[in-house]
Amino acid sequence: MTRFPSPLRAVVLAAATLCLAGHALADDFLDAAKKRVATATAPADKWDGPTTGPKAAAGKTIVYVAGDLKNGGHLGTSQGVEEAGKVIGWTVRVIDGQGSVSGRTAALNQALALKPAGIVVGGFDTSEQKVAFEAATKAGIPLVGWHSGEQPGPNPGAGLFANVTTLPADVSETAASWVVADSNGKAGVVIFTDSQYAIALFKARAMEAVIKKCGGCTVLSFEDSPISESSTRMPQLTTSLLQRFGDKWTHSLAINDLYFDFMGPTLQAAGKKGDGTPKAVSAGDGSEAAYQRIRTKRYQAGTVPEPLNMQGWQLVDELNRAMAKAPWSGYSPKVHLVTPENVGKDGGPKNIFDPDNGYRAQYKAIWGK
């Protein structure tokens, strides 16, 4: 047995203690990631939303202004708003902003010209359309948003009665935790975002923070690419990333499933297996294409979907509260993670996350319908 002089022995013991402590911290971080994943993949079968609120306002007309109906999240919430609108007895108009600032400006101006009882802003930031929001406020038209900011709830400064969303930090941390757990704390990660949306950048930075806390994980690249241009940008970007990182690239994280719509053919051409690396997980929104990829294990391993149809119902409920001069509901749905293991539950057979928690009956009861 080697004997060190006393001063050196103290240094060696201290180093060993630090090493053991580091391993313990890494193990704790990995265990926490696995627990978060287990919680997020559990069945979403219990209602945890509002049970009281104002009765339905009669005969209203509202407009849903979608940021881009090519985006599955915007489309899904618009369909939920239309479904809930029929139940509550309202007329719903949907106008597509077509994925550009100018298109969204034109769509909002068209909505304002209709003088509706309320407007839903679907999937774009309040700061982008400040002039139109001020016009709505001046005209006394309540606005509610879906993913129109970084946090759920009211944004009085922007004229927004309520922003409907899950907690973006929880969504992002859950997606990143799956990567940590799946890699056993040894992932090489590329993160995809679109900085023109505040919520997208917020989610991407939150995912990045989790990966950086994982001692054995590495953020290989932080890619800022316009989501509306994914069809043209992603094939070449995927090729470039494969050339730069090769097998070091084990996992992908993105703020939306849309990025992964256009990566598969390039990965396949490079000899990558559908259920192999780089494994892709999205922090939103659970598109139909994402569900199909997850179910067939073809170039996407998971998504943290928004309950889009349920949130459509919540958007209608929030507008009804605004019209009644009542406070917002205070509801932010819990995070859910879809993987090949649970893709057949909670709406999965229909390629959507539609919680089996009875939300339709709950909102009908609130509205007196």
Asked whether residue 350 is assigned to any structural domain, the reply reads no
Q: What is the pLDDT of residues 61-91, one digit of tens each?
A: 999 999 999 888 899 999 999 999 999 999 9
Asked whether residue 14 is assigned to any structural domain, the reply reads no
Asked whether residue 180 is assigned to any structural domain, the reply reads yes
- 250 close to 301: Cβ distance less than 8 angstroms: no
Is residue 19 over pLDDT 80?
no
CA distances from 89 to 59, 73, 114 (A): 6, 24, 18
Asked whether residue 20 is assigned to any structural domain, the reply reads no
In this prediction, residue 25 carries a pLDDT of: 60
Residue 232 amino acid letter = T
Is residue 17 over pLDDT 70?
no
Domain end: 287, 303, 319, which one? 303
Asked whether residue 352 is assigned to any structural domain, the reply reads no
Q: What is the DSSP letter of 345?
A: S
In this prediction, residue 21 carries a pLDDT of: 41
Shared domain check, 192 and 254: yes
Q: Which of 1-10, 43-52, 133-142, 253-262 has the lowest mean pLDDT?
A: 1-10
94: left (phi > 0), else alpha (psi -120 to 50), else beta? beta
In this prediction, residue 10 carries a pLDDT of: 45
Which pLDDT band, with edges at 50, 70 and 90, does 24 fall under?
Answer: very low
In this prediction, residue 127 carries a pLDDT of: 83
The backbone torsions φ and ψ at residue 155, rounded to the nearest 5 degrees and listed phi first, read: -135, 75
Is residue 11 over pLDDT 60?
no
Is residue 12 over pLDDT 50?
no
Which residues lie below 8 Å from residue 2, measured CB to CB, with a gap of 6+? none
d(CA 56, CA 89): 8
| Overall number of domains in the chain | 2
Which pLDDT band, with edges at 50, 70 and 90, does 1 fall under?
Answer: very low
Assign residue 268 the CATH number of its domain: 3.40.50.2300
Computed over its alpha carbons, how large is the radius of gyration of the chain?
23
Residue spans of beta strands (DSSP E) within the chain:
61-66, 91-96, 118-122, 143-146, 153-155, 160-164, 188-193, 218-224, 251-254, 279-282, 302-303
Instruction: Supply the range of the domain harboring residue 150.
Output: 61-166+307-333+358-367
In this prediction, residue 315 carries a pLDDT of: 98
- 261 close to 289: Cβ distance less than 8 angstroms: yes
In this prediction, residue 15 carries a pLDDT of: 42
Mean pLDDT for the chain overall: 92
Which residues lie below 8 Å from residue 7, measured CB to CB, with a gap of 6+? none
Burial of 11 (0-12, 13-18, 19+ CB in 10 A): exposed
Which pLDDT band, with edges at 50, 70 and 90, does 16 fall under?
Answer: very low
Percent of the chain with pLDDT over 90: 86
The whole-model pTM stands at: 0.83
In this prediction, residue 72 carries a pLDDT of: 83
Q: What is the pLDDT of residues 279-317, one digit of tens each?
A: 999 998 898 999 999 999 999 999 999 999 999 999 999
Asked whether residue 19 is assigned to any structural domain, the reply reads no
Q: What is the DSSP letter of 59?
A: S
Helix residue ranges per DSSP H, 148-218: 168-182, 198-213
CA distances from 203 to 175, 240, 262, 323 (A): 10, 24, 21, 32
In this prediction, residue 34 carries a pLDDT of: 97
In this prediction, residue 284 carries a pLDDT of: 87
